[in-house]
Structure 1
Amino acid sequence: MPGDTTDTLGKGDVVSNESLANLLKEERRFAPPADLAAAANVTEAAYAQADADRLGFWAEQARRLTWATEPTETLDWTNPPFAKWFADGKLNVAYNCVDRHVEAGNGDRVAIHFEGEPGDSRSITYAELKDEVSKAANALTELGVEAGDRVAVYLPMIPEAVVAMLACARVGAAHSVVFGGFSADAVASRIQDADAKLVITADGGYRRGKPTALKPAIDEAVAKCPQVEHVLVVRRTGQDTAFSEGRDLWWHDVVGRQSADHTPQPFDAEHPLFILYTSGTTGKPKGILHTSGGYLTQAAYTHHAVFDLKPESDVYWCTADIGWVTGHSYIVYGPLANGATQVMYEGTPDTPHQGRFWEVVQKYGVTILYTAPTAIRTFMKWGDDIPAKFDLSSLRVLGSVGEPINPEAWIWYRKHIGGDRCPIVDTWWQTETGAMMISPLPGVTATKPGSAQRALPGISATVVDDEAHEVPNGGGGYLVLTEPWPSMLRTIWGDDQRFIDTYWSRFEGKYFAGDGAKKDDDGDIWLLGRVDDVMLVSGHNISTTEVESALVSHPSVAEAAVVGANDETTGQAIVAFVILRGSASETENLVADLRNHVGSTLGPIAKPKRILPVQELPKTRSGKIMRRLLRDVAENRAVGDVTTLADSSVMDLIQSKLPAASSED
């Protein structure tokens, strides 16, 4: 999901103009649908308004929220890079996400259509959600949780996860949500770093048709965390669950006995809302701190603008997990602040069958779908005939998040899911940015397959070279953010110096995102992936993204991952791992054809030295391809830590293929 950044990024990791000239020349353009453009929430005028008065623009967006004390100051940037937004304002985030909709007469509107993997479902109205959040807030108070405390949340994709997060916000405790699939050690390190006093978990969750236990990992983790006073356990699967007398409590007992009356207390706009740990693979966990007023302002505005949300009629579905920032901003805070009706799905896209997502779209009449390129490429691999069996005509806006999307996957998404009529908003942002930063607007932008295109109104982003000079159109280098934004991370929890060193030291006065990017001839931005995913082959910088896009543009390839492996002759050699489409079979001729296809698309320098067709790619549970592990395979090293993979057995299968892989001399 939205990017982790590395702690050290070398000065030589720039993306060269030589490589950028080779990027796929993408000429296809798709104008906004006329009916959507005519009634769009946000028009072209928003860019001019924000350019003329950026702070005034954000002050206006803040007024979309309900404040107990209206802010009079928009931005305090007197101590960069430590920003304060709306600092003299006070609000309660949970009130903004729940109570105010009930008070406005929308208590009967469905907030969440929950669809469990086993087929159980329930719909929760805003009035019901308010009662549940109030009861959970009273439960937190009974358990000694106070404003300023931290609460760890380790739950599956069930409504109680949303309730727990909002209950924390309601009482002013910062939540630290840990993805319900991380190891006990990973959970323990995050609980320790945040110094959480309460953990909220479940007996288990459902994944691929069977219950998977969560509580044992918490028991193991909490054994190393003596500051944890209680573990609150949601009964989801009914599995046998070990209980520690006095420490462990059932959610249905403690929350169930509470009153549904709870008066939310307003907190300062800069009061901590949550800590979210980025998925770094080494070193101390990096806890990204987000605060209340600025974060909610931008999460709500971008959800309203980028998806053109009409809360009275839209049914929205973000397929992310609550444990990632996409789930925080675009399942919990953005949609609920806007009074949206949304779908929440517990399981995987292939259970009980490969049409499960489209079955859910059809069942609920989903109008806005937000998913990841890795999911889209998986659907491509499964075949066009699967979505064709379902009625997807309710869809009107499609979104992509998590990594750059290959143009061919973008076109497939538009054609086979969007009926060749839905605009696609390809969104760039990160855990650290808190909310979307670069994206088309569905009623304004003529979209380009594979490009996030333009910074949103009120956001200042550009591409600079190694010396921090802005590159001209057609040039490439590093993506930077040049002005503070409301939802920006405030620091790394407990480590201000690491915050400065990681994000603000590479280019003075600018936030370095850690991503390579280019500007096309129109000035639109194309993301090239992490700067550490740039390969140096015979003196030429080649982006993994451009080679992957070239491979996926071949009709036999569903998905590709490319790495650079050390090579005595060329410095680095390009090694590609590809998943073939259903009907394609692996032959030496096909491998040669793929090599030549990349050569003719990007130039001979970009031809992979080795191409390995594989059944699956190593992915984290958030869907990111772990290229680090593929690099280990390509360089014949022992494979590193696989604990964050969704399926660690994938690596054994990939390694077993390596000796037989043909290599180009």
Structure 2
Amino acid sequence: MAHKPNRMEGEADMSTVSGGRMSFGEDHMKDLHNQLHQESIDNPNAFWGEAAGALAWDKTFERVLDDSQAPMYRWFSGGQLNTCYNAVDRHVEAGRGEQVAIQYVSPITGTEYGITYNELQAQVSRLAGYMASQGVVKGDRVIIYMPMVPETAYAMLACARLGAIHSVVFGGFAANELATRIDDATPKMILSASCGVEPSGVVAYKPLLDDALEQASHKVEQCVILNRPQLQADLVDGRDVDWQGAMADAPNIECQTVEATDPLYILYTSGTTGQPKGVVRDNGGHAVALAWSMKHIYDIDPGDVFWAASDVGWVVGHSYIVYGPLLVGATTVLFEGKPVGTPDPGIFWRTIAKYNVKSFFTAPTAIRAIKRDDPEGDYLKDVDLSCLGTLFLAGERCDPDTLHWAEQQLDKPVIDHWWQTETGWPVAANLMGTAPVPVKAGSPAKAVPGYDVQVLDEMGDVVAPDQSGNVVIKLPLPPGTLATLWQNEGRYKESYLSMYPGYYLTGDAGYMDEDGYLYIMSRIDDIINVAGHRLSTGRFEEVLCQHEAVAEAAVIGVDDKLKGQVPLGLVVLKKGCDLSDEQLYKELIALVREQIGPVAAFKLVSAVPKLPKTRSGKILRGTMRKIADNQEFKMPATIEDPYTLELVRNALTRMGYADAHV
């Protein structure tokens, strides 16, 4: 690759790419948002072609939007670049190597240190050099199963440096879930660690990894294990290699040129069948979209400090802990801890003040947890947050109470925004760096430029303002969104494009008001959103039915003040079962924890004599959710036995739900 790529002719600097547009003034911000959005829809080639000028390209793209294989659209076809070069090396070459790239903060282990761009380049190039020496080449898959430590970011960037495709699996995921991802991605190498550290204690990763490798059909050639001080892992001869030992004599390696349309990573998200869906992100569109979003949405310029309090196992960690901030030369905070309990509900605020964070991104769940433990904001009173410009919330719907509490305590703009694993960056948001508009509680504001968001009824017609329907995005999706599903284009089309031809189905229901503000209200499928983590009800049911006493199971998501939703299970027992309620409860909870992991937050389960179903055998989960959350509902016309709803109500009431009578 050309290691010092030339900027494209006529390009503007990232920080000034929209400088002319910003001269309209605050009174025109509402119009400016609409103008930018309209430009992106009317002329996507010009809009995104200009945005691409913020990056260094090895070869200029031939087409901005390639619609030759619609509905499989591609961005920047013919273009070549390297994502790691754009995120690391070019900042070093520009003379900013001594700026902190990653600020690591781990209150849970008492560790804090900064990594400069020079140091980041050295670590990443050496890890990539080791991987290359072991035969990892462009297009190979590498699974990363690690905690929130800097080495996890090194691993992602090292894969990008080689053109290898990384797939990060949330550290601590159950062994069988990891095994399914190993078999789907068929990685040449796995990068892992001995453990993660949680408030409850040390979580050993290596036994889970060993179990997953035993279960998986695909055989992995090598595992590189980072042994942490909190727990030393035993290494398997001939397969496992110590991370530090591997790095000691590893050669440095330069960035490898890849096509803009080549995959950068696979990130698995829950599928309604229980089989995970591997979302594929490309290199070119991903880099362009994230760089654009850092300035326009998050108001981050080179040298600013940005903190997304998430995990690299989730899409937020990919987009806004690792790639987004580094692509624009910002400092990113990598945080190993929790909003409360590590050690107290003031840790977020103290970290923001200590490291001069300009924009902070977390989930509403985190703010609710802080509010629960510190309702009067006592931990805020002695903290100087003058550096903080904006608090961004995403991962689940932000209820107005949480938003208003944060506004009152921080005296800062609190911005809800909405997006998905599949989209990779915000679909609806307030453009805080370019064209902020008034906040409306309960809404993530307006569609971001590039996204033609519409609300349709079941027939595919646009509904009137304030009328609920299915939220969709008219094709083509903008750069940075999913290109397809890994090795399953048919499932991609069936899952997202088949219901409304010409549109991407988000899977969410909501409405749009007369001002164009979007309101996301619920899922239209049976995916539960637990503290921002999307988990399949089908997977829960599959696990519950593994218990020898369970004949049938149904799982629904019920409202929870802290986590947004939590899973609630109802099981029908096999005849002759003599287990006590207490014993059954304990065994089912343990089974879900083992198979899905603690992230499931599964603590509500009860036995019922019979589940409510339609005559065709479909379980009435939607009706049960309404009963649990005390919402009005109509008796389904196709119900097989109306009395089953009374049985469900009684069980839900015993668990603290369904106060209203059926």
1:423 CA displacement: 2.3
Report the counterpart of residue 362 of structure 1 in structure 2: 353
Report the counterpart of residue 193 of structure 1 in structure 2: 184
Q: Distance in 1 between matches of 2:423 and 2:519?
A: 18
Report the counterpart of residue 565 of structure 2 in structure 1: 625
Q: Distance in 1 between matches of 2:27 and 2:182?
A: 49
| 2:401 is the alignment partner of 1:415 | no
Report the counterpart of residue 418 of structure 2 in structure 1: 428
The secondary structure found in structure 2 opposite 1:398 is: strand
1:211 CA displacement: 2.2
| 2:481 is the alignment partner of 1:480 | no
Report the counterpart of residue 224 of structure 2 in structure 1: 232
Taking only aligned residues, the RMSD between alpha carbons, in angstroms, comes to 3.1
Report the counterpart of residue 337 of structure 1 in structure 2: 327
Aligned 8 A contact 1:373 1:400 in 2: yes
| 2:80 is the alignment partner of 1:100 | no
Report the counterpart of residue 115 of structure 1 in structure 2: 105
The secondary structure found in structure 1 opposite 2:143 is: strand
Report the counterpart of residue 644 of structure 1 in structure 2: 596
Q: 2:283 aligns with which of 289, 292, 314?
A: 292
The secondary structure found in structure 2 opposite 1:80 is: coil
| 2:337 is the alignment partner of 1:397 | no
Aligned 8 A contact 1:403 1:529 in 2: no
Give the TM-score taking structure 2 as reference length: 0.77
Report the counterpart of residue 654 of structure 2 in structure 1: 659
Report the counterpart of residue 577 of structure 2 in structure 1: none
Report the counterpart of residue 497 of structure 1 in structure 2: 490
1:66-145 map, 5 Å: 66-116=56-106, 117-145=108-136
The secondary structure found in structure 1 opposite 2:177 is: helix
Matched to 1:175, the amino acid is: H
Report the counterpart of residue 440 of structure 2 in structure 1: 448
Q: Distance in 2 between matches of 1:445 and 1:526?
A: 15
Q: 1:524 aligns with which of 514, 517, 536?
A: 517
Aligned 8 A contact 1:425 1:441 in 2: no
Aligned 8 A contact 1:233 1:248 in 2: yes
Matched to 2:381, the amino acid is: A
Residue by residue, what CA displacement relative to the aligned partner does 1:294-344 show, whole Å, maximum 9, x if unpaired? 1111122112211111223x2211001000011101111111101111211
The secondary structure found in structure 1 opposite 2:191 is: strand
Report the counterpart of residue 377 of structure 1 in structure 2: 368
1:290 CA displacement: 1.1
Aligned 8 A contact 2:294 2:301 in 1: no
Q: Distance in 2 between matches of 1:323 and 1:39?
A: 39
1:1-40 map, 5 Å: none
| 2:145 is the alignment partner of 1:154 | yes
Residue by residue, what CA displacement relative to the aligned partner does 1:205-245 show, whole Å, maximum 9, x if unpaired? 21116322111111111123452000001122342312111
Report the counterpart of residue 168 of structure 1 in structure 2: 159
Distance change in 2, residues 1:509/1:651 (3 Å):
same
Aligned 8 A contact 1:205 1:237 in 2: no
Q: Distance in 2 between matches of 1:38 and 1:143?
A: 58
Worse-superposed segment, 160-169 or 647-656? 647-656
Aligned 8 A contact 2:269 2:277 in 1: yes
Distance change in 2, residues 1:247/1:172 (3 Å):
same
Distance change in 2, residues 1:626/1:493 (3 Å):
farther
Q: Distance in 1 between matches of 2:315 and 2:389?
A: 24
Residue by residue, what CA displacement relative to the aligned partner does 1:529-564 show, whole Å, maximum 9, x if unpaired? 211379xxxxxxxxx99xx9xxxxxxxxxxxxxx9x
1:508 CA displacement: 1.0
1:533-572 map, 5 Å: none
Q: Distance in 1 between matches of 2:254 and 2:157?
A: 13
Aligned 8 A contact 2:653 2:659 in 1: no
1:626 CA displacement: 3.4
The secondary structure found in structure 1 opposite 2:102 is: strand
Aligned 8 A contact 1:295 1:486 in 2: yes
| 2:318 is the alignment partner of 1:328 | yes
Q: How many residues were matched structurally?
A: 547
Gaps of 5+ in 2: 1-22, 531-536, 538-555, 573-580, 608-650
Aligned 8 A contact 2:104 2:149 in 1: yes
Residue by residue, what CA displacement relative to the aligned partner does 1:469-525 show, whole Å, maximum 9, x if unpaired? 112222220111102211121211111111111000110111000000101122211
Report the counterpart of residue 379 of structure 2 in structure 1: 386
The secondary structure found in structure 1 opposite 2:73 is: strand
Distance change in 2, residues 1:37/1:130 (3 Å):
farther
Matched to 2:345, the amino acid is: Q
Aligned 8 A contact 1:471 1:477 in 2: yes
Residue by residue, what CA displacement relative to the aligned partner does 1:340-363 show, whole Å, maximum 9, x if unpaired? 112111122221222222221222
Q: Distance in 1 between matches of 2:183 and 2:313?
A: 18
Residue by residue, what CA displacement relative to the aligned partner does 1:537-593 show, whole Å, maximum 9, x if unpaired? xxxxxxx99xx9xxxxxxxxxxxxxx9xxxxxxxxxx996655xxxxxxxxxxxxxx
Worse-superposed segment, 139-148 or 208-217? 208-217
Q: 1:272 aligns with which of 263, 269, 277?
A: 263
Gaps of 5+ in 1: 1-33, 535-543, 549-562, 564-573, 580-616
Residue by residue, what CA displacement relative to the aligned partner does 1:54-98 show, whole Å, maximum 9, x if unpaired? 221011111111100011301112222212111100000100000
Report the counterpart of residue 256 of structure 1 in structure 2: 248
The secondary structure found in structure 2 opposite 1:625 is: strand
Q: 1:457 aligns with which of 444, 449, 456?
A: 449
Q: Distance in 2 between matches of 1:648 and 1:414?
A: 30
Give the TM-score taking structure 1 as reference length: 0.77
The secondary structure found in structure 1 opposite 2:425 is: coil
